[in-house]
Structure 1
Amino acid sequence: MNNTQLLPQVQAFLDKPHQLFIGGQWCAAADGGTFTVENPATTQVIAEVADAAEDDVNAAVAAARDTLDTEWKQVSPSERTRLMLRLADAIEAHAEELGQIITLENGKPYTNAQQGEVRITANIIRYFAGWPSKIEGSTIPVSPSSGEPMLNYTLREPVGVCALVVPWNFPLSMCAWKLGPALATGCASVLKPAEQTPLVAIRLVELIEACGFPAGTVNLITGFGAKAGAPLAAHPGVDKIAFTGSTQVGRLIAQAATGNMKKVSLELGGKSPNIILPDADIKRAAKGAADGIFYNQGQVCTAASRLYVHDSVLDQILDELSSHAAKHVVGPGLAADTTMGPLVSAAQHRTVSGYLERAANEGAELICGGQRPEGLETGHFLEPTVFLDASEQACIAREEIFGPVVTVMSWSDVDELVHRANNTPYGLAAGLWTNDLRQAHTIAAELKAGSVWVNCWNVVDPASPFGGYKQSGWGREMGKNVIDAYTETKSVFVSLAG
């Protein structure tokens, strides 16, 4: 394996102190605390980062409030657009650097990081840069009981200070999912990345600073959930919290938000059903199923982890899936031939490995994978894995794994199939593969999921809403829907009586 050479600027970035960014100033944590970040491919420490606590949260929220009430509110919509377009250009200009940082701390293949996540991030910021001049109120023809003439109009105003808590699986693009609408609507933010992947968020905020956003518009705190995330979620100075992560933590955030009834949007877990009908293009469906579960090492909230295959094509699909799994080259993300990197951490590797052990004990049949690849004794590596579960009772058929593990189940009756597909506490995504237009639309309408993909998987666009049913979350991100989540609507009545 020939590893991609680290850019000099990436090495320089890793070697320098990694601090908090509060009110336009880089600073150490108030108590001086730090924590280390490791490369999941080697388990080596690559950086030391400031470990924020409640005092730092208080300072960051105060800085956000100060600029919201002063300088940032004076910035015109067209100037917000200009700043955001400048940021999108900066992200693209630093794509190689950002991609290497993502791979070093997250583990994903460099091509996926640089050509995928970084480019997507720039596109998201660029999409939301078009919104500041289009956030409009309206005039309403009211009929007051007094009969006097009345003008009624609405104003759309920024919701206020936003806490933006992002996960480790897409550590840059998830920042953009939340910063994009926050900046577009004129909100001020406190950004908290996951403790496993804080480095690319730090570098992003350096670019935000260089682009000339007013001090305090975006503040950054790095650290752990208990010390930094919990006080941020409960902070009375925060008007809205946007969180992407596990359903378990989402519940805690929703509870913490009740103190001052802050607005909450949650994008949480999933156990997405992927359905193959007998008339589907088998090779295309099998590749889509493989990509849907093995992409990003299966560490995707919309991972196609439940695969329902019609009895008549089950053997073909299993053969095709096994073939796709065997073609993956598992290794360090900076190796040129790697197509699947390590899991993000030792804890995640233990969790996924535990599911594999339980699955075998609960009657699931291992078709392929499930082991640490030969020659990769260090790092958090795992082979792409396929199970067949005839009874659909194993834990891997019901619980979110967040690893490269797909559970295949067969079906014969389409009405029963839809019931089985919806029989989950989650409802983030679903998909089906068919050439029957009637079946495609009929089944799509019955699936209880925020996104349904037909003959494709994981198609996401900044113009289209994204979010989940049931325990997969509250609200929607992306598209025009998310603008409502970052604004308040004010109704103004003006008497026109003489």
Structure 2
Amino acid sequence: MPDLTEFYIDGQWVDPVEPTFIDVINPATEEPSGTVAIGSAADVDAAVAAARRAFATWGSTTVEERLEVLNRVIAEYQNRMGDLAAAVTEEMGAPAGLANAVQVPIGLGHLMTAAAQLPGYAFSEDRGTSRIVKEPIGVCGFITPWNWPLNQVMCKVAPALATGCTMILKPSELAPYSAAIVAEIFDAAGVPAGVFNLVNGDGPGVGAAMSAHDGIDMISFTGSTRAGIEVAKSAAPTVKRVAQELGGKSPNIILDDEDFAANVAGGIATMMMNSGQSCNAPSRMLVPSGRESEIAEIAKGVVAELTVGDPTTDVKLGPVVSKAQFDKIQGLIERALADGATAVVGGAGRPEGLETGYYVKPTVFTGVTNDMEIARTEVFGPVLVVIGYDSIDEAIEVANDTEYGLAGYVSGKDTEEVRRLGSRIRAGSISLNGAQLDPSAPFGGYKKSGNGREWSDYAFDEFLEVKSLLGFGA
């Protein structure tokens, strides 16, 4: 990957105002794969100025004009899908198969969903003698994480572009390569200068400057709840809109029926995808008390199929993103064992034969109660806890006994019962019987999992102000 020593501001690549550079570490090798410039408040100022200038015209474009630009971006994205997949594998360790089949296509899916929803979206309606109109909020700041880089960038950028907003993107400094290609895509697609701007940097520098900037009308942040709280605090004095998609500790209720083994196996496999680095991962599996003993053999069978290793090869799981993340996960595993949990598969340390790289053993714990640290803390690694329940009401109580509310899962043969339980989980996205995420449905959380909604036309609302024209039809 090329060294990222410049930022994309006002339609051109420019040097940082105060050049500072850090290495980008390949998590599979623990070696630098390139460098990235770390921006400052001065770079944010330049990007905001460009975005405000561009908003003067982009904000008043027609639906047809924005749709034409969106379609050009889609075409350029399709041309670069191979490059994007290679970038994701190198920057955050996603296996090549996952990068090509899911990580990159999901970003395209958000662009295509925005293009499909835009022509029919109601930007105005009449109520009595008043006209209600929805107008672009203005300049948006996007702070995105490393775990699903293209998903997190495009679920913000696509609706913002569709609704007439301009934007500044700060991707994770751990995984900046794919975002740089996105900037190249926007440039090649002829997106007007200043509509999309890219400033690399860290949270305390660029992220904090964006959150506090009075020239930014909205901040959309995806990341940890801890960091999200700091973003909201920084944004408060300017009373800007803050949309957040934060952490999760999602329950997965498995019903007591003849599909139990298959549903347990499916839940384990879903949990381990992307090395467990998903905010909506089903990390707490709730099973009928007395059946926990069956989990060990099921888990061993599933994990035996989850090859771990070099993400450029045909493996299922790659490394976690960084040494800091690896150390955090190892600490949580070791404390869970000390608290009395049983690792029926996996445990502390690297998988056998992998001495280099931030690889974590896929781990399944039984003997867990919901008050243990391992059951309450978002691990963000391939670690699943199994908790027993004595009744459906207890399962729901445990499922909702968390500060998070991003996602939930229910599996069982009785479809009506599955639906009823799904409606009782206090979370923003509930998967029934293995249903996959739907780009046409909104995504977001309850409680400390955030506020606002992304994905689908619901995302459009986040980027729009509502104006009442009283007496318009008098």
**1:162 counterpart = 2:140:** yes
Alignment match, 1:36: 23
Alpha-carbon distance, 1:351 to partner: 0.3
Task: In structure 2, give the amino acid aligned to 1:87.
Answer: V
Alpha-carbon distance, 1:410 to partner: 1.3
Alignment match, 1:22: 9
Which of 46, 58, 69 lines up with 2:45 in the alignment? 58
Query: Is contact 1:329-1:339 (8 Å) kept?
Result: yes
Distance 1:65 1:97 in 2: 31
Alignment match, 1:89: 75
Distance 1:353 1:297 in 2: 14
Query: Is contact 1:163-1:241 (8 Å) kept?
Result: yes
Alignment match, 1:362: 339
Alpha-carbon distance, 1:391 to partner: 3.4
TM-superposition CA deviations, 1:44-84 (whole Å, max 9, x none): 111111110100011111110010013x2353311211211
Distance 2:350 2:211 in 1: 38
**1:303 counterpart = 2:289:** no
Alignment match, 2:320: 343
Alignment match, 1:146: none
Query: Is contact 1:247-1:471 (8 Å) kept?
Result: yes
What TM-score comes out, normalization by structure 2 length? 0.97
**1:476 counterpart = 2:453:** yes
Alignment match, 2:355: 377
Alpha-carbon distance, 1:334 to partner: 0.3
Distance 1:297 1:127 in 2: 27
Does the C-alpha gap of structure 1 residues 16 and 440 become closer, same or farther in structure 2, counting only changes over 3 Å? closer
SS of 1:15 mapped into structure 2: coil
Alignment match, 1:124: 110
Task: In structure 1, give the amino acid aligned to 2:443.
Answer: F
Distance 1:393 1:156 in 2: 45
Distance 2:398 2:251 in 1: 9
CA RMSD, 1 decimal: 1.5
Distance 1:78 1:469 in 2: 35
TM-superposition CA deviations, 1:248-289 (whole Å, max 9, x none): 011111111111211111000000011111115134312321
**1:112 counterpart = 2:89:** no
Unpaired segments of 5 or more residues in structure 1? 1-13, 142-150
Alignment match, 1:69: 56
Alpha-carbon distance, 1:389 to partner: 2.5
Alignment match, 2:252: 274
Does the C-alpha gap of structure 1 residues 17 and 253 become closer, same or farther in structure 2, counting only changes over 3 Å? closer
Distance 1:329 1:60 in 2: 43
What TM-score comes out, normalization by structure 1 length? 0.92
Task: In structure 1, give the amino acid aligned to 2:396.
Answer: V
Alpha-carbon distance, 1:495 to partner: 6.9
Summarize the alignment of residues 278-293 of structure 1 with structure 2, pairs less than 5 Å apart: 278-279=256-257, 281-293=259-271
Task: In structure 1, give the amino acid aligned to 2:328.
Answer: T
Task: In structure 2, give the amino acid aligned to 1:100.
Answer: A
SS of 1:494 mapped into structure 2: coil
Distance 1:292 1:170 in 2: 15
Identical positions, percent: 38
Query: Is contact 1:389-1:397 (8 Å) kept?
Result: no
Distance 2:19 2:472 in 1: 57
Unpaired segments of 5 or more residues in structure 2? none
TM-superposition CA deviations, 1:349-383 (whole Å, max 9, x none): 00000001110111111111123012211110111
| Max Rg structure | 1
TM-superposition CA deviations, 1:447-466 (whole Å, max 9, x none): 11111111115x22221011
**1:46 counterpart = 2:23:** no
Does the C-alpha gap of structure 1 residues 98 and 18 become closer, same or farther in structure 2, counting only changes over 3 Å? farther
Query: Is contact 1:271-1:306 (8 Å) kept?
Result: yes
Task: In structure 2, give the amino acid aligned to 1:299.
Answer: Q
Deviates more, 1:281-290 or 1:367-376: 281-290
Q: Give the total of aligned pairs.
A: 472
Alignment match, 1:488: 465
Task: In structure 2, give the amino acid aligned to 1:118.
Answer: V
Distance 1:304 1:285 in 2: 12
Task: In structure 1, give the amino acid aligned to 2:7.
Answer: L
Summarize the alignment of residues 197-346 of structure 1 with structure 2, pairs less than 5 Å apart: 197-279=175-257, 281-336=259-314, 338-346=315-323
Deviates more, 1:477-486 or 1:181-190: 477-486
Alpha-carbon distance, 1:393 to partner: 3.3
Alpha-carbon distance, 1:436 to partner: 1.3
Distance 2:272 2:93 in 1: 14
**1:407 counterpart = 2:390:** no
4+ aligned runs moved over 6 Å, structure 1: none
SS of 2:470 mapped into structure 1: strand
